[in-house]
Chains A and B, each alone.
Chain A
Amino acid sequence: DIVMTQSPDSLAVSLGERATINCKSSQSVLYSSNNKNYLAWYQQKPGQPPKMLIYWASTRESGVPDRFSGSGSGTDFTLTISSLQAEDVAVYYCQQYYSTPYSFGQGTKLEIK
């Protein structure tokens, strides 16, 4: 099974500043036949279900603000929020969907400094 590890576990960033969350998979999630990384990012606010932000490691879901971006390939990935807004306070999860079971990272709690 693929193990997903996020860092840091929690992060405090000032409003308007950049927030960066890392995600590492125990094996590559890059599918060679289509050169796509099977990696998604989700945002979960308290009392709500997760919301998809990014899929294919770097494709923004429709309606997601462009301050959210994803990057990386193979085993190392990053979610970047370019200018933190108050409504971005949440827990963020990465997930690999390269092979079942489709595992999630442990989550990163993002707060305002």
Chain B
Amino acid sequence: EVQLVESGGGLVQPGGSLRLSCAASGFTFSNYWMAWVRQAPGKGLEWVANIKYDGSGENYVDSVKGRFTISRDNAKNSQYLQMNSLRVEDTAVYYCARVDGAKGGTPDIWGQGTMVTVSS
């Protein structure tokens, strides 16, 4: 069964840091781009970042550039999101998603999400 499990969310003060992890199983992780998508409470979906299958390329939404870093470890079937200089507006559920190149590069499998709350 294809599965993505996020971890690492929690409560952090503005200006703080947090590292999210996503463990993948049930598919050949190293063959797929991966992504993070977030959803603020009661709001819509926002694409945050994606990373190439071998980790050699990344893309970010402007609002997180310079603060967030996406990475992956294919040996551990895991991807990560390092979040620094966190702001109140970063509060959201963060979803890990598999990106299917055969479908053009859109997320086809999603994890259940991990909640990040930025508050003093």
Q: Report which A residues bind B (CB closer than 8 A).
A: 1, 36, 38, 40, 42, 44, 48-52, 55-56, 59, 61, 93, 95, 97, 100-107
Contact = CB atoms under 8 A, between A and B. Distances in A.
Interface in B23-59: 35, 37, 44-47, 50, 59
Interface residues of B, number: 23
Is chain A's interface secondary structure helix, strand, loop, or mixed overall?
loop
B39 to A, nearest CB: 9
Interface in B88-109: 95, 100, 103-108
B106 A52 contact: yes
Given A93-B45, A100-B59, A104-B45, A49 B103 contact: no
Interface in B104-118: 104-108, 110-113
Nearest to B108: A52
Contact of B47 (A36, A56, A59, A101): A101
